[in-house]
């Protein structure tokens, strides 16, 4: 349903931490101009854990209105409460989202049966297309292929974002011949993921280099390995540096230096450490992203 480079958008904030809606509009326009294939808001990179409910509604409404008919909008609605996730998912659908992204429940440490029942309940409650999100490094919870296979019976569960960066995991999923799409959640391995049969990448680095990630997606999905490798080489250092500290700290700093957003970020996340600034600057200048 969705293909190519889907940007996991940051949530712009003023220095005091309040939402900067003017910069959000600017960022959305910039993504559209650079041919990003899809928009993912209020995910990990969007600091969803510290966004209030009334702010969520405003962000969703503005984003959908701003990019209408230009790219699909996928909203992160996953929490570690099944009931709350259903509420947020229903709201996203009512506001016009094209799909939702559902991270595995964190902190609770559910069993595979618990994960199945969690996603089953959401799929049965709301008809909107749903993408499951597996990121064990953050949730201490791994959604296994056998559980994904069980969930494939629900037609509105349309895909999985797999952020482990493990090519063997994608291989296992593809071997099952499920009627699902698979998206990389790891920029460094996204090229191989798509060349091997994945449908796209939900990308952090596409915040900073949207055009290059769009071009990478086109090349990889067309199985043009030579061109994909050439583009991927240009992105290699960016993919590393944007994870020098916890995401989205480096990405927001980069966008601030590029003049696209202000410097705000919400506690418990803090500003980029001064010791990393020079290296970040060098990578950005090499990509011609800074003035």
Let me know if 146 is a catalytic residue: no
Let me know if 133 is a catalytic residue: yes
φ, ψ for residue 272 (rounded to 5)? -60, 135
177 exposure class (CB count in 10 Å sphere: 0-12, 13-18, 19+): exposed
Q: Which of 133, 252, 256, 257 is catalytic?
A: 133
Q: Which of 109, 124, 146, 161 is catalytic?
A: 161
Note whether 10 and 42 are within 8 A (CB).
Answer: no
Element (H, E) at 117: helix 112-125
**3-class secondary structure, 74:** strand
User: What are the strands, taking DSSP E only, across the chain?
Assistant: 4-8, 38-41, 73-76, 99-103, 130-134, 157-162, 181-184, 200-203
| 272 Ramachandran zone, left/alpha/beta (phi>0; psi -120 to 50) | beta
**3-class secondary structure, 92:** helix
> Catalytic residues, which ones?
133, 161
């Amino acid at each position: 349903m969705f293909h190519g480079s889907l940007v996991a958008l940051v949530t712009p904030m003023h220095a005091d931490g309040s939402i900067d809606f003017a910069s959000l509009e600017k960022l959305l326009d910039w993504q559209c101009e650079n041919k990003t294939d899809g928009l993912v808001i209020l995910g990990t990179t969007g600091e969803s854990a510290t966004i209030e409910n009334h702010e969520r509604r405003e962000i969703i409404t503005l984003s959908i209105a701003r990019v209408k008919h230009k790219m699909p909008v996928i909203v992160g609605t996953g929490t570690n409460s099944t009931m709350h996730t259903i509420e947020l998912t229903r709201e996203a659908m009512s506001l016009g989202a094209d799909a939702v992204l559902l991270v595995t429940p964190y902190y609770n440490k559910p069993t595979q049966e618990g994960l199945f029942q969690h996603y089953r309940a959401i799929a049965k409650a709301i008809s909107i297309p749903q993408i499951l999100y597996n990121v064990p490094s953050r949730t201490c919870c791994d959604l296994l292929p056998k559980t994904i296979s069980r969930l494939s019976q629900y037609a509105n569960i349309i895909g999985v974002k797999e952020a482990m960066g493990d090519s063997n995991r994608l291989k296992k999923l593809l071997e099952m011949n499920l009627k699902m799409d698979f998206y990389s959640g790891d920029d460094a391995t996204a090229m191989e993921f798509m060349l091997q049969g994945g449908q796209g990448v939900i990308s952090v680095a596409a915040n900073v280099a949207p055009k290059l990630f769009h071009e990478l997606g086109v090349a990889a999905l067309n199985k043009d390995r030579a061109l994909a490798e050439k583009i991927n080489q240009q992105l290699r250092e960016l993919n590393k540096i944007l994870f020098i500290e916890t995401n989205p700290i480096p990405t927001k700093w980069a966008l601030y230096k590029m003049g696209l957003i202000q410097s705000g970020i919400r506690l418990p996340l803090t500003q980029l450490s001064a010791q990393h600034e020079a290296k970040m600057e060098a990578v950005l200048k090499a990509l011609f992203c800074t003035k």
